[in-house]
Amino acid sequence: MKQLIGGFVLVLLFGACKSNNTVKILPIYGSRQAVTKTVNGQQVTDTVYQTIPAFTFVNQYGDSTGSKNLQGDVYVADFFFTTCPTICPVMQRNMLNVYNAFKDTAGFKIISYTIDPKHDTVPVLKKYADKLGISGNSWWFLRGDKDIVYDMAAKNYLVAVSQDSTAAGGYIHQGYFVLVDKQKRVRGAYDGTDMKQVNQLIDDIKTLRAEPAAK
Amino acid sequence: MKLKIIGSICLIFVALVYSCQSDASIEFNRYYSSGNMVYQNHCQNCHGAKGEGLADLIPPLTDTAMLKNYSIALPCIIKTGLKAEIKVSGKSFDGEMPAANLSPIEIAQVVTYVTNSFGNKQGLTNSDQVGVDLGKCGQ
């Protein structure tokens, strides 16, 4: 009997150790396809994942920025507009926690795309950033062509965004924070209005930053 | 045994106190708890669960002196929104507050909630008062 208990405890301990040692790997979202190519005369099949396409927009400082400036960065993206009366203030309040956790971390950025580029001009975005207390280059508020932004939201970031004159503020959008890895693949989506999920995001950013860049 | 007696005496005492609550405080509690729901549905996204506001974008609701100064204007501000710049807790805010389509009773409830939460303690604002105040902005 004693041996049995001893064995049981051992198994328990082993189990505990095991779960501590497993490295968490975040899932990769989006469509994927197997691509077969010939390398050195041998057929090699590789999985190609969906990535965020190249884009060039303008940030709150009036600088032209885009995917080129995100090379090798882990970043979080969301969609908002400065006059949004509904979920944006909650999202930005939570995103401020993410900002404060990583603002001095190189290789990490927050990208907020405006979905109302007509109103949210560069000076408007700058003022908004200033009032939120954002400085430096770790959180960009980007303004780009509306159609491209909406298209990217739906197809690449998998976030629904639409214009609707009946909605408060004139737009409907989901409050997801989308986590993108160094290879521009979507690795997570978190409800930006839910503090618990945002705390999970902060943990996952650390996990993702520790992930080796090479496949 | 002794504990049981003491316990039941306490219980009776609590029940007595509760049933003796004045009409005024029952009315206040009803306004306050309904106001909490109105606040969650119409105000909390921007002003926050603790009335903390958001940085320099959205003013907090913790400036008691200011709330007192604005007590007559509050119903109109809630009903029709606010575009003018205001100073709250020493900071100036110039963003636009959207109009909330609320009835006078809902406005009274939420004003009661806000002016008695987040460190404020200004008592009941009833719907009659709100009706009078709304008249001042033609509502």
What is the distance in angstroms between the Cα of B45 and the nearest Cα belonging to chain A?
5
Q: Which letter, b or e, does each residue of A169-181 get, where b requires 16 or more Cβ atoms within 10 Å of its Cβ?
A: bbbebbbbbbbbb
- Residue B114 to residues A6, B49, B86: CA-CA distances in angstroms? 60, 11, 18
Which residues of chain A have a CB within 8 Å of the CB of B50? none
pTM equals 0.79
Q: What is the ipTM of this complex?
A: 0.73
* Under 8 Å between Cβ of A157 and A186: yes
Question: Is A89 near chain B, with CB under 8 Å?
Answer: yes
* Under 8 Å between Cβ of A159 and A173: yes
Residues A59-97 pLDDT 10s: 999 999 999 999 999 999 999 999 887 788 999 999 999
Residues B22-67 pLDDT 10s: 888 999 999 999 999 999 999 999 999 999 999 999 999 999 999 9
CB contact under 8 A, B45 and A169: no
Both tokens of residue A145? 């062509």
CATH number for the region B25-134 comes to: 1.10.760.10
Listed by start position, the domains of chain B span 25-134
Q: How far apart are CA B56 and CA B68, in angstroms?
A: 21
